[in-house]
């Protein structure tokens, strides 16, 4: 005869995993804020910018922001990766190159 499943234990394990994932997400978002320099903004400014971004339906703007984000992460990984592991794509990272030329001003 088969052993019955312990649904309570499975549910508890899933809830714990969900808590861990939420905690990791919050930590990573905080790290992202610091890494981008957005921790220099006031809480109100940061919240307002995030609300504006979340409400934006303009696909072109969203795509431009996404490209700018990719550029940001690629430039960071090139600066921290050993020479043999650096990405061959694009131009070499330069200090202060977190802004893409297509981005223009950050108050879009």
**What confidence tens digit (pLDDT) does each residue in 26-64 have?**
999 999 999 999 999 999 999 999 999 999 999 999 999
How far is Cα of residue 13 from the mean position of the Cα atoms in its chain? Answer: 27
Q: How many domains does the chain have?
A: 1
For 8, 11, 13, 36, 78, the CA distances from 4, given in Å and listed in that order, are 12, 15, 17, 50, 52
* Residue 52 is assigned to a structural domain of this protein: yes
The answer on pLDDT for 104 being more than 90 is no
- Domain of residue 35 covers 7-77
Enter the pTM of the model: 0.59
Calpha distance 95→36 (Å, rounded): 14
Residue 68 near residue 99, CB atoms below 8 Å? yes
* Residue 59 is assigned to a structural domain of this protein: yes
* Residue 48 is assigned to a structural domain of this protein: yes
Residue 70 near residue 76, CB atoms below 8 Å? no
User: Which 8-state DSSP code applies to residue 99?
Assistant: S
């Amino acid at each position: 005869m088969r052993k019955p499943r312990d649904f309570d234990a499975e549910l508890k394990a899933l809830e714990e995993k969900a808590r861990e994932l939420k905690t990791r997400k919050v930590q990573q978002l905080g790290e992202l804020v610091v890494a981008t320099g957005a921790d220099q903004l006031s809480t109100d400014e940061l919240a307002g910018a995030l609300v504006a971004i979340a409400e934006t339906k303009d696909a072109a703007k969203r795509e431009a922001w996404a490209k700018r984000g990719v550029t940001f992460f690629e430039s960071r990984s090139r600066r921290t990766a050993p020479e043999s592991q650096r990405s061959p794509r694009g131009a070499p990272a330069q200090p202060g190159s977190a802004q893409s030329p297509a981005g223009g001003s950050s108050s879009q």
